[in-house]
Amino acid sequence: MLQRFEAAIPPQNAERGDAELFFSRELSWLAFNDRVLEEALDSKNPLLERLKFVSIFGTNLDEFFMIRVAAIKQQIAAGVTTRSDDGRLPAEHFQAISDYIRETLPQQMKVLRDEILPAIAEKGVRILSVTDLDEERARTVEHVFDERVFPVLTPLAVDSGHPFPYISNLSLSLAVELEEVTPDGIDVHFARVKIPPTLPRFIEIPETASGARSFVLIEDAIAHHLDALFPGMTVRASYLFRVTRDADLDLQEDEADDLLQAIESELQKRRFGEPVRLEVERGIPENLRAFLLDALDLREEDCYDIDGLMGLSDLMSLYRQAGHDELRDQPFTPAIPLRLRGVSDIFAAIREGDILLHHPYDSFDPVVQFVQAAANDDRVLAIKATLYRTSGSDSPIVRALLEAAENEKQVAVVIELKARFDEENNIEWARRLERAGVHVVYGFPGLKVHAKALLVVREDEDGIRRYMHFGTGNYNEKSARLYTDFSLFTARARLGSDLAQMFNALTGFAKVTDYDELLVAPVTLRREILAAIDRETEHAEAGRPCGIRAKLNALTDKEVVRALYRASQAGVPIDLLVRGMCTLRPGVPGLSESIRVRSIVGRFLEHSRLFSFTDGGDRKLFIGSADWMGRNLDRRVELAVPIEEREMAEELDRLLASVLFADTQHSRELLPEGTYRHLALRPGAGIDAQGELLRRRERSLS
């Protein structure tokens, strides 16, 4: 696998510039996506799970082009000459990205075409070509085409009287070459046929009692029946192509009187973003390729030949087809922690002490039940919540908030309308909540509200008390079965005061400049993280116990990386578990030799954030919503919550040290030159962290 950044190790004791201190964040992200692809390559994974990882790889790459590549192309067009942290100009970065992807794509196509699809076909899940069908099944496809597909199709001619049509983002299209016999000879025409996104990508063909499931790609069925769309013409050939467009929102928030309307307007523009990538079927004629590039105002370096299935994100629909469970990961039932089993009064349970959940091993149900209980409890006076992403139109969390408003509770919800690719969903929820009488706030201009927190104000027998839930993940019960995250229930008074202050700052004009216990971005989080790292440096220099362990999704902040380098130079042992982007260069003599960086990509998406500082023996440990990135520390509202109960903190620290950092089955270690080395030496060797945590869950249920 490609897992490299093409960056040399700076010599020991040499003067080091930024380019020698930092990896490219874009190439680091692509290396993360390679680790996703490695899971598809791993024959130890069940076949449909391997198919799922191919789909995730493709979806990730689509978003990378829509956001990161689009931004770099904008920089190039604007003539930006500022170098990135790793020393590249925008044009150099674009070329490095292009080279990297062109080396990786053939591996993706090869594992899908030559390994996964043939293997699942042997197990009874087949993707067939129309030309390979027998007469009976071919008639089935023809019937589906005539009845369901043909009425939806709109062939679009391209000539002097018909301009090149608009090609929507990520849509599949057929470029069709046609011949027409005229008195003057043969005329050649071009037409575009859009593959309808409203229809299933995979057409199922009924099989006999064999139990097999067979599918035909809709574009294959359309290509095979193009004559029906162009009577009187001869179809010479057709070629599949796909366009990716810039999908980032360009909000002028300071000038927007109504943020909701501004975002709705930008969402309309997203469909018409500038093209950034053209994917074409391998074998397309050069003249047709050049025609498409010219029509889309793209260059050759923006074009990618695809030797296989295009639009791999659609494979997820095949993965989700019912049946063939033997080709999937073994299902599991999340556990209910002992403290909450059989509990009828969740508020009483929280009053007894903090409760920590580790999803997906622990069920997300208690979080839903917490909000539902608050919505229907006569003693509850108010509920406040932040919502970044939910599970869509059937979200039980949002339904409970609506119910609370109907029960005349005071409900305030901060909805982040700018949650990328969830904007429309959040706009819909915002309007429904407003209609129910909920106080809805759309976040801050210039800031995304990414914190995950619920605050319930309740009149207990001994007075007003605040009950809270803090999470590292979204209020989404569906992703809580797929992502690893932490939940903390607490009624600690000082935390309650801090969280109330944060909500006042979000919903009103309160200008909070400090907090007692919560670390809140952009107010205190950066300052406190840097101070904690610097304290470890001081402890190391004084010979006191020191050490840093952190679990993150990404580490790219320049100031934090430099602080970690200083700590390493003082001798602080630093273990970092960074799932995705990491611009820090570990293990460099004289710079970062005490820093280890690992990444786990496995069955579950490692999404939780956890920071642990030895602090001279008085360990400080936090869970939170923020990665160590500039956007999280400076341009988002984020929370990190201290874990004060000693037993709970020790359990989390052991989780980091003896389970997650001990993983050798799905863990890769980042080496100084930028290579990720897989730690598994042989099948069955070492620890599978996620598997171990699932086994612990099983034991807890027995």
Residue 528 identity (one-letter amino acid) = E
Which token pair is 381? 């006076």
**Continuous segment of H or E residues that includes residue 487:** strand 483-490
Q: Are 625 and 518 in contact (CB under 8 A)?
A: no
Residue 408 identity (one-letter amino acid) = E
Which token pair is 572? 């602080």
Helix axes 90-110, 70-77, angle to 10 degrees: 150
Start-to-end CA span in the chain (Å):
41
CA atoms within 13 A on the CB side of 449: 23
Residue 390: CB atoms within 10 A of its CB come to 23
Residue 341: CB atoms within 10 A of its CB come to 8
* Local structure of 326: helix, strand or coil: helix
Q: Shortest CA distance to 487 belongs to which of 357, 662, 576? A: 357
**Continuous segment of H or E residues that includes residue 470:** strand 463-471
Q: Which residues contact 407 (CB under 8 A, 6 or more apart)?
A: 375, 376
- Complete DSSP assignment for 159-222: BTTBPPPP--TT-EEEEEEEEEEETTEEEEEEEEEEPPTTS-SEEEE---TT--EEEEEHHHHH
Rounded CA separation 649/620 (Å): 8
Q: Which residues contact 527 (CB under 8 A, 6 or more apart)?
A: none
Active site includes 469? no
Q: Which residues contact 65 (CB under 8 A, 6 or more apart)?
A: 244, 276, 277
The CA angle 525-498-349, to the nearest 5 degrees, is: 115
Residue 257: CB atoms within 10 A of its CB come to 6
Buried b (16+ CB within 10 A) or exposed e, 296-323: bebeeebbbebebbbbbbbbbebbeeee
CA atoms within 13 A on the CB side of 497: 6
Q: Which residues contact 361 (CB under 8 A, 6 or more apart)?
A: 334, 335, 693, 694, 696, 697
Q: Shortest CA distance to 439 belongs to which of 467, 469, 409, 464? A: 409
* Local structure of 563: helix, strand or coil: helix
Q: Shortest CA distance to 498 belongs to which of 466, 450, 474, 532? A: 466
Return the C-alpha torsion angle 106, 109, 112, 114, nearest 10: -70
The CA angle 129-132-135, to the nearest 5 degrees, is: 120
**Continuous segment of H or E residues that includes residue 413:** strand 410-415
- Of 224, 225, 450, 666, the active-site residue reads 450
Q: Which residues contact 332 (CB under 8 A, 6 or more apart)?
A: 694, 697, 698
Which token pair is 312? 């791999």
Catalytic machinery residues: 450
